[in-house]
Amino acid sequence: MREYVWLECTACGERNYRVQKETRGANRLELKKYCRRERLHTSHKESRKK
């Protein structure tokens, strides 16, 4: 089963990307993605939509 999660920038806290994730036995995602506010590639961590 898959679900949608948001990727939140660790530098500014803005949610920039929405991605699908496999839910069975998966760890929290952490990817290097581009942040438009920072204008840099920063690490983005998974956060669930509230």
Confidence of residue 27 (pLDDT cuts 50, 70, 90): confident
Q: What is the average per-residue pLDDT within 7-28?
A: 90
Can you give the pLDDT at residue 50?
57
Find, among 22, 21, 17, the residue nearest to 43 by Cα: 17
SS3 state of residue 41? strand
Percent of the chain at pLDDT exceeding 70: 96
Here the tokens at position 30 are: 């952490």
Domains of the chain: 2-47 (2.20.28.120)
